[in-house]
Structure 1
Amino acid sequence: MDNSQNTIISSLNFPDGFQEIETNISGYKRHMILASALKMGLFDHLEEKGVLTREEIVTSLPMCGMLSRSYLNALVSMNLLIEGGDKYQNSRISQNFLTKKSPYYQGDLILGNSKSGSRWDLLSEAMQSSDGMAKTPGPGPSLDHLNTLAQRVIQGEAQALTTWISDLPGFSGMRKMLDIGGGHGLYTIGICQINPDMKGVILDQPHVTDLTKQYIQKYEMENRILSKPGDIRTEAYKPEYDIILISHLLYKFRNDLDEIFRLVSGGLTENGILVSNHWFCSPGCLPSQDPVNELERSLQSAGHPLCHPEHFAELFEKYGLSCIRTGTIETANGTSMLHAAQKGKL
């Protein structure tokens, strides 16, 4: 029990410093304003109709008239709407990132941050766990989470990774690839777009395959890409793939890498290439200059990025692979390290 009964309110001198906390609270309020606009379809509606008055917006959307002026002007202050003469239209930022017709749409990512069951929503549970992972219902990542990841990689990672792979030796002659834990499938889709003779198989948990098929259909790749239920540890690998891609999956198997590489190497053709795309902690596990981003990366990587990239080279060699190329690409959550290891090149 506090001792507030002994406090004289009129003598309280509220200390400086709360403004820093208020700034964080304001950020949350702005997020909720943006999220509500996405949920009611405001940006899509304006993109379809063009310039609308406040009254036209209120009557055509489920929007409270009494709150509409301050609400819309708040979106103007956030540079998401443009206002002139009490008429409103989307800003360029909203056109690019907040309308569903845009290839750069980020709405699911924005809504996913605050959605019930998201990694941020379950942060308290994760912080009190032993492994940094909050317990979630269902067999694995939610479909909302996978949609969020799809929009995040479109910020640049998917473009950088597919371009890097297309520059590997012999790429133009490759005909079949396997994407293990590929989820949204955008990496395989991008690679097949670059190589018109490539066919792909995306292996993921059974509850994910329907979502993967939606992305395959969206990019009209049904005749070239198959979404297949399976598990990296139990798949019956046959030497049929010219490329096997594993991207941001091995964090939760960090103690089983030897067995994982043994199994996966059996799926490569002679001269086939295994490509790994993962975050590694900095030498000495030094802290990042952006601790919030570092925390998000940890939440995405089963508590911690991988360590000791040199261990990959040892495992490659152990199972008949030779590391022919390494590199880095920038992702929304920091620098990711790439390894390409070829079978039969020892």
Structure 2
Amino acid sequence: MGELQWAVETVAQYEEFRRARKMLDLGGGHGLYSVAFTQLNPNLEAVVFDLPEVVEKAKHYCKSSARVRFMSGDFFKDEIGGGYDFIFSSCNPAGKNSAMFPKICNALNSGGIYANKQFFWDDCSLDLLDLEWNLWNFGIEKGEKRFTFKGDLSLDEYLKELEKHDFEILGIHSYGDQKMIVARKTK
């Protein structure tokens, strides 16, 4: 099973997902997660939020998906909308950054779920793939380990931050080197 299939099937096991009507795919890039989520939940409308240049390219991949639309912006600077029952984030610079918690909390309805799929390299040493990661740059300060960024939290720090912002951890799922945290907003 591929990574995308694993992620959407894992989230689809949660009753909160099956009840969701509006989702945000935060930093959703290609939009394919949103397409898959809307196929698994026929009542779900999805919003893919990403940088304007990414959104323009991603629209091509999702043109036949009537329930997937796009919103352009920078999630660190711009509003991300609101009234969401489900927010999904996968391997983007906001994924382990505590500055995003207020936006996520404000955008997610009480009882809604937040699924965040990221690499947490808390106890790993550097390797050749990390060297390759640091050879390219896309305008944001990165961490030493691949798929890490300046200001990232460790897994334990991230879980504590979720609880501090009134999230109940429903599950932590592993796929290779990635973890997907599924949490429900309690207030």
CA offset digits 1:216-274 (Å, max 9, x no partner): 01xx10x20111101212333454111111111136x86xx232111211110111111
**Equivalent residue number for residue 160 of structure 2:** 314
* Aligned partner of residue 170 in structure 1, secondary structure: helix
* Distance apart, 1:342 and its partner CA: 0.8
Aligned identity (percent) is 26
- Whether the aligned pair in 2 keeps the contact of 1:281 and 1:307 (CA below 8 Å) is no
**Equivalent residue number for residue 163 of structure 1:** 9
**Equivalent residue number for residue 342 of structure 1:** 184
- Whether the aligned pair in 2 keeps the contact of 1:157 and 1:329 (CA below 8 Å) is yes
* Distance apart, 1:292 and its partner CA: 3.9
* Aligned partner of residue 233 in structure 1, secondary structure: coil
For residue 235 of structure 1, the aligned residue among 60, 69, 78 is 78
Number of positions where the alignment pairs a residue of Structure 1 with one of Structure 2: 177
Change over 3 Å in CA distance of 1:234–1:175 after alignment to 2: same
**Equivalent residue number for residue 280 of structure 1:** 120
Structure 2: gaps (5+ residues): none
* Aligned partner of residue 160 in structure 1, secondary structure: helix
**Equivalent residue number for residue 196 of structure 1:** 42
Change over 3 Å in CA distance of 1:299–1:339 after alignment to 2: farther
Change over 3 Å in CA distance of 1:295–1:187 after alignment to 2: farther
CA distance in 2, matches of 1:205, 1:173: 29
* Matches for 1:178-189 after TM superposition, within 5 Å: 178-189=24-35
* Matches for 1:215-226 after TM superposition, within 5 Å: 215-217=61-63, 220-221=64-65, 223-226=66-69
CA distance in 2, matches of 1:278, 1:338: 6
The amino acid across from 1:194 in the alignment is L
The amino acid across from 2:110 in the alignment is E
**Structure with greater strand percent:** 2
* Distance apart, 1:168 and its partner CA: 1.9
The amino acid across from 2:50 in the alignment is D
For residue 110 of structure 2, the aligned residue among 270, 277, 284 is 270
**Equivalent residue number for residue 247 of structure 1:** 90
The amino acid across from 1:311 in the alignment is E
* Distance apart, 1:160 and its partner CA: 1.0
Q: Which has the larger radius of gyration?
A: 1
> TM-score, normalised on structure 1?
0.47
Structure 1: gaps (5+ residues): 1-154
* Distance apart, 1:185 and its partner CA: 0.8
Change over 3 Å in CA distance of 1:207–1:320 after alignment to 2: same
For residue 56 of structure 2, the aligned residue among 200, 203, 210 is 210
Change over 3 Å in CA distance of 1:234–1:282 after alignment to 2: closer
